[in-house]
């Protein structure tokens, strides 16, 4: 069931704006996940098992050691996974 209301619409809009920003895909994905978690905590959007799975997949793509450079496969995976996450957020 899709979440409705101004808070849900605002959360979706902000999530997509973050993903669409210029900048590194990994940084944008991290910030978008933070915004999404806030929306869940506030009750603006509803978690689904599929969203949780995609977030877990994204977490693996974003996980890196402190001294690793951003880019490469992490950025490609982040872009791919966040596209799917954005589709699921529309229905959350």
Domains of the chain, residue spans:
6-91
Lowest mean pLDDT of 2-6, 13-17, 68-72, 86-90, name the range: 68-72
For residue 74, the model assigns a pLDDT of 78
- What is the pTM (predicted TM-score) of this model? 0.83
70 neighbors 27 (Cβ within 8 angstroms) = yes
For residue 52, the model assigns a pLDDT of 96
- Cα distance from N-terminal residue to C-terminal residue, the chain: 7
Lookup: tokens for 20: 């669409």
For residue 92, the model assigns a pLDDT of 77
15 neighbors 32 (Cβ within 8 angstroms) = yes
For residue 65, the model assigns a pLDDT of 47
pLDDT in tens, 14-73: 999 999 999 888 899 999 999 999 999 999 999 999 999 999 999 888 876 455 655 567
88 neighbors 50 (Cβ within 8 angstroms) = yes
Local structure of 47: helix, strand or coil: coil
């Amino acid at each position: 069931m899709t979440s409705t209301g101004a808070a849900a619409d605002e959360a979706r809009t902000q999530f997509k704006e973050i993903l669409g920003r210029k900048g590194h895909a990994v940084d944008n994905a991290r910030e978008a996940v933070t915004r999404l978690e806030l929306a869940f905590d506030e009750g603006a959007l509803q978690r689904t098992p599929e969203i949780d799975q995609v977030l877990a997949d994204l977490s693996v793509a974003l996980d890196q050691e402190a001294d690793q450079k951003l880019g490469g496969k992490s950025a490609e995976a982040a872009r791919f996974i966040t596209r799917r996450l954005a589709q699921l957020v529309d229905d959350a």
